[in-house]
Structure 1
């Protein structure tokens, strides 16, 4: 299961069925759970914890020091959950003490080739980052979000559940749940209706979400007024509560 050319630090903890390809390097304080495969020439640095049934392809760099000029070698961490696919040349860095000290990747995510997850990011579950999509530090990406190829996300932004960014989007503010953005400059372009259908949302739920989108983006209401209108709508459409909670917590305001 472990190729003889792989280099594994004696302190690394690998489950018995973990496979490691040729010339991979696994450093100190790395834990890898059962069913995970590590491709050729992969480099994993600790402290890093990787869960079950992940597939890390060739030439990935996982758990490297954060790209932060304030970093001075402090201990920080990376936790990756279960059943993630991380493709060629993807990079995922550990956290910094200026934030929570940990970068987190949840379960069932797909990080395509050349994607980048910077220090202190928090990724939920079932996320897709297409080729070369990149997150700056301290970004939060919620469940089922999709970032198109070459999407770039500014630090401290939040990407809401079931949202979608088109290829080449430059994202410098938060994207609420369900919203689709794209263009140059990046603007909202309706809701991610195709994605919602694929995830099993009913036609009525999608219709109510579309109403919510119009209240935020088409009604001319100020954001706090739109939130109040969404609260009223949520009485008959509980899916809208995701938007309410998100908008009440937004730190960088929203793409609007």
Structure 2
């Protein structure tokens, strides 16, 4: 799975192929993007989509809703076995989905608190968090500042939830997926947030518009200078042959070398 995941509403099948061409993986959305009266036909579109199961997942409705059972029944008629469970919060309910590979979408207070338990489930391969649903579950009105010098920045509770999910995923060796950036016209803001996601350890970021995909990919792709610096550092480590050594006026140890190896890995080298 590459770093740029793109949601595609399941009731808009004309968008499926375009999304697959542009993104690293497509999330066919049966939940928030689809009106209640359109969900039945949306499921039919999902089954008939023809997308590659290796690069496609399906977001189903929350497991405590009647729609979830209908989503799962439709999935049995499809080739898709990777699902994103909306509003995941009950580890037992997610564990019962043993026939599926699961991305647990933690987007409530209960979901964030359950993230460590969800991450330990063998059928869960990744965790994602959702900012607006989370704040709504707390009775709040916005996950980001909407005025003043911090306009666009996450509020403290959202940042805490983001960090908790990242730590839960990392502690269990699972991928952490960063939340969407809703203002799809603000590509500069998306670039800044994506760069922070990379530096913090998120393995991917979800997109809601095709124009966001290139921005996310650019953030995850190391520059030529960064790759060259990482190679130089690793070569110096091989030459030093010790656990800790000095390099260009700085002390280098295991974590610094791991950062360099991760840079090389993100470059696909």
TM-score by length of 2: 0.26
Q: Relative contact order (alpha carbons < 8 A, sep ≥ 6): 1 or 2 greater? A: 2
Higher helix proportion, which one? 2
Structure that is richer in strand per residue: 1
